[in-house]
C-alpha cells in the first residue's frame, strides 16, 4: 500500500445514509461501551441537542457572541442544564477528545442533520421506533 504524502489531506470516509437512521445510531451506540442503556442514550442525545440549541439561541443576544463561541463560554439556564447533563457521564472527564460520550453525541448530531437532509424525512423518529420502542409506538 502506498504511503500518503506528507501534507496530503486524508479523504473522508464515505457515509451511507438510510431512512432508518443507521449512521446516526452507530455514533450513539459507541456510548454503550461505557455501560449506558439505549433509552438513556437516546433521551440524553435529544436533551443535549435541545439544550445546546437553546443555549446558543439564548446567547445570541450578547454582543460578544462570536468570542463566547470561540472560547466555549456560553452562559445561562440552558447552558447550565447542558453542562449538568454532560457531567453525568463521568467518562467525559479524563478521556481523550473524540472518545468521550459528549463527542459521540456531537458526532451523532452532525450525522443526524446530514442523514435527515439526505433522505428528506424524519430520521430521529425512525431511530426511536426501531431502537427504543421496537415498533410498539
pLDDT digits (tens, 9 = 90+) for 21-49: 999 999 999 999 999 999 999 999 999 99
pLDDT digits (tens, 9 = 90+) for 3-20: 444 444 444 466 778 888
Classify residue 47 as exposed, middle or buried by CB count within 10 Å of its CB (0-12, 13-18, 19+).
middle
Rg, Å, the chain Cα set: 17
Decide if 69 is inside a domain: yes
Query: What does pTM read for this prediction?
Result: 0.83
What does the mean pLDDT of the chain come to?
Answer: 90
Q: What is the reported pLDDT for 15? A: 72
Q: What is the reported pLDDT for 72? A: 93
DSSP letter, residue 113: H
Whether 1 shows a pLDDT value over 50: the answer reads: no
Decide if 116 is inside a domain: yes
Question: Side-chain half-sphere of 26: how many Cα atoms within 13 Å?
Answer: 11
State the total domains in the chain: 1
Decide if 85 is inside a domain: yes
Q: Which domain holds residue 49?
A: 40-132
Amino acid at each position: 500500500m502506498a504511503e500518503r504524502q506528507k501534507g496530503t489531506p486524508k479523504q473522508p470516509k464515505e457515509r451511507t445514509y438510510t431512512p432508518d437512521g443507521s449512521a446516526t445510531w452507530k455514533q450513539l451506540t459507541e456510548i454503550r461501551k461505557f455501560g449506558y442503556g439505549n433509552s438513556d442514550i437516546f433521551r440524553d442525545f435529544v436533551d443535549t441537542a435541545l439544550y445546546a440549541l437553546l443555549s446558543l439561541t439564548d446567547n445570541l443576544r450578547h454582543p460578544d457572541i462570536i468570542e463566547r463561541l470561540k472560547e466555549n463560554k456560553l452562559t445561562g439556564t440552558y447552558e447550565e442544564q447542558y453542562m449538568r447533563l454532560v457531567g453525568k457521564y463521568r467518562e467525559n472527564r479524563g478521556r481523550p477528545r473524540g472518545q468521550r460520550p459528549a463527542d459521540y453525541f456531537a458526532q451523532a448530531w452532525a450525522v443526524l442533520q446530514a442523514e435527515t437532509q439526505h433522505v428528506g424525512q424524519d430520521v430521529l423518529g425512525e431511530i426511536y421506533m426501531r431502537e427504543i420502542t421496537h415498533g410498539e409506538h
